[in-house]
Structure 1
Amino acid sequence: RTDSLAIAWLLHSFAVQCYLAYTMIFDANLTMHEPANSRWETFWLAFGAVATTMTTLIGGNFALLATGWFSPAREEIR
């Protein structure tokens, strides 16, 4: 069903967000002793965080729209 697909997508996105947050917290602490790499790694981690958040929001919105949870037709029925 589309509902379970939407829920699976949101759970998957949440898991990716948690992994990314874990990576940002612990990898940043590990790489602070390497000043040459820390700026680029911070940049790519931030870029990954923004890209993941955008993907989660856009994909989640499409998934919710596909299920009809927020469709205008449902509001008219009420």
Structure 2
Amino acid sequence: MNIKILGSGCPRCQALERETREAVDRLGLDAQIEHVTDLPSIMGYGVMSTPGLVVDEKVVSTGKVLKSREIEPLLS
């Protein structure tokens, strides 16, 4: 599984990455997590409001920091 956090690296983006890592650990998934900070790459996903969460190249959330329990169903 390939997971990307889209955002500049701001505290909200870091919080989403932390919550995503917690969800991955809790589910025991084998996943690569990457933080994408390059604006043209972020816009390439059509994301205009960060942070964004991409799972296997599909945008599943934008503009909010999800809690790990909210992320888990998106990873299943």
TM class by smaller structure? 0.3 to 0.5
Greater per-residue helix proportion: 1
Question: Whose radius of gyration is greater, 1 or 2?
Answer: 1
TM-score w.r.t. length of structure 1 = 0.32
